[in-house]
Every structure is written in C-alpha cells, then in structure tokens.
Amino acid sequence: MTALDHPPRATRRAVRRNPVTWVRGGGLSTLLFLVPLLLIFGIFSWFPIGRAIVMSVQKTNLVTPPTFVGWDNFVTVVNDPLFWTAIGNTAWFAFLAIIIGYPIPLVVAVLMSEVKRAKGLYSALAYLPVVVPPVVAVLLWKFFYDARDTGVFNTVLGWVGIPPQPWIQSAAQAMPSLVVEATWAAAGGTIIIYLAALTSVPPELYDAAEVDGASIWQKVWHVTLPQLRSILLVTFILQIIGTAQVFLEPFLFTGGGPVNSTVTILLLIYRYAFQNSLGGDYGAATALSLILAAFLAVLSLVYFRLTKSWSQS
C-alpha cells in the first residue's frame, strides 16, 4: 500500500465536514458574534449604498413618487457646466493641499521629535486645532480673513508694508485661503501619527548617520523618510481622498463663490439635493456621489497597486 492509497489527513477532515462538526468547531459562536456586526453594517452602510444606487436611476425629490429615468441623471450631471468647474476646483484644492498641507505635518513632527522637554505640551498644542469644532474654526478664520484694513491678517501685513489682500473675496486667492485654513485645522492628527511612527525608528540608524557626519537634513532624507515610507504613502492617499470630499470650507467661507471659483464636487452635490426644486433633485445628487465614489475607489486601487512594491521595499 502506497501513500497514494491514503488521502492526506486535511483532505479527510474536509470531506467529513458537516453542520455538526461546524457547530462543534465553534462555528455557531462565531456566527453569533458576527450577526451584530453584519446588522450594523447592513443598516448603516450597505443599505444606504444600495438605496443610493437605486436613487441614482430615479427622478426623485423624496416628496413626490419617484420615477425611473435610467442613466438620465448621470447624463444631466455630466452635461452640467458646473460639473467640470467643480472637478477643476476640487483638483486645484487637492493640489494646493498636497503642496501646502502634506509636508507641513511631517516637518513639524520631525522638529517636535527633536525637542527634549515639554514634548507633551507641544503635542497638545499641535493637536488643539483638531479639537476646535470645524464650524467654529471656519468662522474664526473668516473673521481673520476680513478684507478691510482692520482685518487681522491685513493688519499684520500692514506692519511689513504689504497692502491689504481680498483673501476669500478674490477668485484667485479664495481657494489658497481655504487650503491654509483646512491645513491648520487638520494637520494635528497627522502630526500625532508621524510622532508615533518616529518612535519606531531605531536610534542606531541616527547614531550611525551622525558618525558619518550627516547633517540634520541628511538624516531626515536618508533615515527618517525611508523608515516612514509606508506611513507616508497611506497618509498621501488619505489626504487625496479627504480633499476630494471637501465641503465645509467652501460652504461656510464663500458658498462656492466668488464666481463659482470654490464650487467643489460635494458642494455641487449639496446644491442638487437642497437648492433646486421642491425637495431637491436627489437623483442627480446621488448620481454625482456615485461618480465621485467610483473615481476614488479606482484611484485608491491603482495607487496601492503602483506603490505596493515600493512600500514593502
């Protein structure tokens, strides 16, 4: 008799698998623990997603009975001149947020990691803007952005001989002004993440670089950044996803103005839902939401595929 006459033990167990052995193996208890999770996700995540897909092919304002329109909502959204304006403005916001807001938390975290005393105090101060309610933060900065000579920022500029700036009243300066406030409000969380990641960098690497005569910036470039590579890749795609869904700043600061220079995709979705006809056009709003969700899903998939080998190297 050869080994081929006896199937492997794992195969015999798989063949004999039945409901009784599944229950005895703890399958029932596993299912009981999964049921609450499945119910929560089903009610608060999967059902709204399914409902949004249905609404995207309907003409509905949640007041009158819905009617099936197929792809008409998607065609209406794409043919709307504000659709391409919103895409351009959102892309511009995301680009400025990457240029301005992406490196700042890393620089601040590296500088704070070099502090020997009161590191907890500095961490609390860095995280403080995150604790401030977003609406309060926007209203505070809106006061700072007062375009008059007596405005806070314009007063500071006057001290160095710079004339008053229109800030959010200018189509050219409105979006950068929004990015500066959004960076201030959200940088604290990323700083804390980088500070936690910096604690995992082996001190021996810095010691070796110092022995080789490396400067502080050389140590950051050759030691810190490679060690934080995976964290940097994740925070980069999270920032892109977050900036693509920007709504609060353009809604409260400018309402999409001046001359639609700060209309973003989410603000356009809001207009479809709440600023059109009676009850709003929720079909068009959900259609645009699905377009945005599909784009971000594809972008994330491509991004992680392209950076997979680099993040693990």
pLDDT digits (tens, 9 = 90+) for 170-186: 999 999 999 999 999 98
Most confident of 51-55, 83-87, 147-151: 83-87
Peptide bond into 202 cis (omega under 30): no
The confidence score (pLDDT) of residue 124 equals 86
Helix axes 152-159, 134-144, angle to 10 degrees: 40
The confidence score (pLDDT) of residue 277 equals 55
How sure is the predictor about 8, in pLDDT bands with cuts at 50, 70 and 90?
low
How sure is the predictor about 145, in pLDDT bands with cuts at 50, 70 and 90?
very high
The confidence score (pLDDT) of residue 176 equals 93
How sure is the predictor about 152, in pLDDT bands with cuts at 50, 70 and 90?
very high
Least confident of 76-80, 102-106, 252-256, 278-282: 278-282
How sure is the predictor about 15, in pLDDT bands with cuts at 50, 70 and 90?
very low
pLDDT in tens, 246-300: 999 999 999 998 999 999 999 999 999 887 655 678 899 999 999 999 999 999 9
Sole residue written with tokens 């999967």: 46
- Do 16 and 8 touch, CB atoms closer than 8 A? no
Mean pLDDT of the chain: 86
Instruction: Work out the percent of the chain whose per-residue pLDDT is above 70.
Output: 90
The confidence score (pLDDT) of residue 72 equals 92
Domain ranges of the chain: 3-55, 70-312
The confidence score (pLDDT) of residue 73 equals 92
The token duo for 56 is 């995207």
Sole residue written with tokens 């960098």: 201
Question: 290: left (phi > 0), else alpha (psi -120 to 50), else beta?
Answer: alpha
Is residue 201's pLDDT more than 90?
no
* CATH class of domain segment(s) 70-312: mainly alpha
Instruction: Work out the percent of the chain whose per-residue pLDDT is above 90.
Output: 42
Strand 67-68, strand 58-59: pairing: antiparallel
Least confident of 2-11, 199-208, 234-243: 2-11
pTM for the model stands at 0.83
- Do 231 and 105 touch, CB atoms closer than 8 A? no
Q: Which residues contact 133 (CB under 8 A, 6 or more apart)?
A: none
Distance from first CA to last CA of the chain, Å, rounded?
Answer: 49
The token duo for 152 is 């806070």
The confidence score (pLDDT) of residue 85 equals 95
